[in-house]
Amino acid sequence: MLTLIQTVSRPIFTVSFLVFLALSTASLAQTIQPETQPHQAIPPAPGQLPPKDQPGVVAPGKTEAGEDKRVLGVLPNYRTAEMNAVGQPLTPGQKFKIAAKDSFDYPLILLGAAYAGLYQLEDSHSEFGQGFEGYMKRFGTSYCDQVTGNMFTEAFLPILLHQDPRYFRMSEGSFGRRTWYAVSRIFVAHTDSGKTVFNYSEIAGNGIASAIGLSYYPDNRNVPDYMMNWGIQLGTDATSQVLKEFWPDIKRWWYVRRHKEAPSNP
């Protein structure tokens, strides 16, 4: 009975945490949206970033396309693009570059450490034990989960299936519509030519990554545990896309607020 409770509680707790994080960020963006009208133009002060991401703007902390490299200043954001980039295909090398940056950028280590701490508290994969050794085993396996998931969903399968691995921001619309759009992109993708298709790269890629995980999770070699790990991978990606959708709104709001509060020069 205890084993059953632990098996059920882990995915519920993890998914609940992911949903809470995504909705909290989206709700904050919705709350501040009236102050961040897309047509509001405020000239940036010297040395500061412009209030809105603009393609072609190369500035500290940004990609060549104008998007932030970091969501919340931490999470890798190399996979995000604006909607006008649909139909502008990436080369196989560019897809590998995105996957490599999302996999080996230092914040992913922090994410793996956070998951390891969560699993340590739950005593999931109890064969790893507790203490420092148990934590490091959980850290290594959770980090491996993220890397294999990224490589299959952003590089291997997108190249094989000619799908675009990027997340294209909706950027405008109601809170509910944008949130639903962000979550639904784990099932919807674009081909390199711009056609809308089922996101085989995301679904199958995370499925393959979860299958690989069976090799280093000796207590999870059954169908329910496999499905649970697969769902957690998809939930993580869906949460990440909600954060990517609303982060520019939050960043613009913060910029505008700071700009208004800054003392004007006499």
Chain segment 121-176, per-residue pLDDT in tens: 988 888 888 999 999 999 999 899 889 999 999 999 999 999 999 999 998 899 99
Q: Taking 60 as the threshold, does the pLDDT of residue 63 lie above it? A: no
- Which comes out higher in pLDDT, residue 10 or 219? 219
Q: What is the DSSP letter of 62?
A: B
| pLDDT of res. 260 | 63
- Look at residue 117 and tell me whether its pLDDT is greater than 70: yes
Backbone angles phi, psi at 66, to 5 degrees: 105, -10
Instruction: Pick 57 or 255 by higher pLDDT.
Output: 255
Q: What was the pLDDT predicted at 4? A: 37
Q: Are 209 and 152 in contact (CB under 8 A)?
A: yes
> How do beta strands 163-164 and 75-76 pair?
unpaired
Lowest-pLDDT range of 7-16, 152-161, 212-221: 7-16
Pairing verdict, β 80-82 and 167-169: parallel
pLDDT of residue 68: 64
User: For residue 35, which phi and psi values (nearest 5 degrees)?
Assistant: -90, 0
Residue type, 202: E
Q: How far apart are CA 8 and CA 25, in angstroms?
A: 27
pLDDT for position 16: 44
- pTM comes to 0.70
